[in-house]
Each structure stands twice: as structure tokens, then as C-alpha cells.
């Protein structure tokens, strides 16, 4: 899941094609593991370019992963969201809590918050 594109303090985690009740908890746990297992990581970009479906369980675990990573000083960013997934996040207000980016590279390029 981890891919060290973008520098020593940034990681990319490629998320699955579907995030639903069957894999949401595992996906969230793996995202947190990427965030906290590599010393010096300050940003984890969740690459959702292949994700075509995300249900409410998926949204819940993405938010939990974001909160758990933030508690460790790591910023999780959501990138390359397909329209159906982005729409779900917008309807649930998640886009106001977690930063979203049009591409992985845009998410990697933005400065790390202090």
C-alpha cells in the first residue's frame, strides 16, 4: 500500500477499487499503518484513482484513519477521486474535513502544514 513517491516525508497509499463494509476497516487500518509506521512521514496521500465505489462504511473508516493519523502528526490527503466517490464525500461533508486533490501529484506538491 505504501509508495514513497514525493519525498522522504510523504507516502502514497493506493486504495482498492471498492471500499465497502467487507473491506473498509482493513483499508482504514492499512492507511493508518502507512501513516505511522515510517518515521518522518508527515503526509500520506490516499490515491483513489482506481476506487469506483465507496459506501458509508468506507467513508467512516477513511475519517477514522484521518483522525488516527492526525493524532500522530500525519496529514492524510485524498487524491484523484472519481466523480461518484467524490460526490459521496461531498454529500457527507467529508470534503470539508479531509483535503481532496484532483491528482496524486497535486496532493504531494502542496506544502506540509506546520
Residues in the chain predicted with pLDDT less than 50, given as ranges, are 1-5
Smallest CA-to-CA distance from 41 within 81, 78, 13 is with 13
Q: Which residues, listed in sequence order, are joined to residue 10 by a DSSP beta bridge? A: 43
pLDDT score, position 57: 97
Count other C-beta atoms under 10 Å from residue 31's C-beta. 25
pLDDT score, position 113: 63
- Under DSSP, the state recorded for 90 is H
pLDDT score, position 71: 95
Q: Is the whole-model pTM more than 0.85?
A: yes
So where are the chain's domains? Answer: 2-109
pLDDT score, position 38: 83
Positive or negative, the CA dihedral 19, 22, 25, 31 is negative
2-109: CATH homologous superfamily? STAS domain (3.30.750.24)
Count other C-beta atoms under 10 Å from residue 28's C-beta. 22
Strand-pair category, 43-47 with 10-14 = parallel
Identify the residue whose cell numbers are 506546520: 114
Amino acid at each position: 500500500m505504501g509508495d514513497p513517491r514525493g519525498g522522504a516525508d510523504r507516502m502514497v497509499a493506493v486504495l482498492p477499487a471498492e471500499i465497502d463494509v467487507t473491506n473498509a476497516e482493513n483499508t482504514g487500518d492499512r492507511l493508518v499503518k502507512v501513516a505511522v509506521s515510517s518515521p518522518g512521514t508527515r503526509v500520506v496521500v490516499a490515491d483513489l484513482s482506481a476506487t469506483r465505489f465507496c459506501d458509508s462504511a468506507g467513508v467512516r473508516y477513511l475519517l477514522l484513519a484521518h483522525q488516527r493519523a492526525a493524532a500522530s502528526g500525519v496529514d492524510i490527503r485524498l487524491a484523484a477521486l472519481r466523480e461518484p466517490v467524490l460526490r459521496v464525500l461531498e454529500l457527507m461533508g467529508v470534503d470539508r474535513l479531509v483535503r481532496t486533490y484532483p491528482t496524486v501529484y497535486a496532493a504531494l506538491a502542496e506544502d506540509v502544514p506546520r
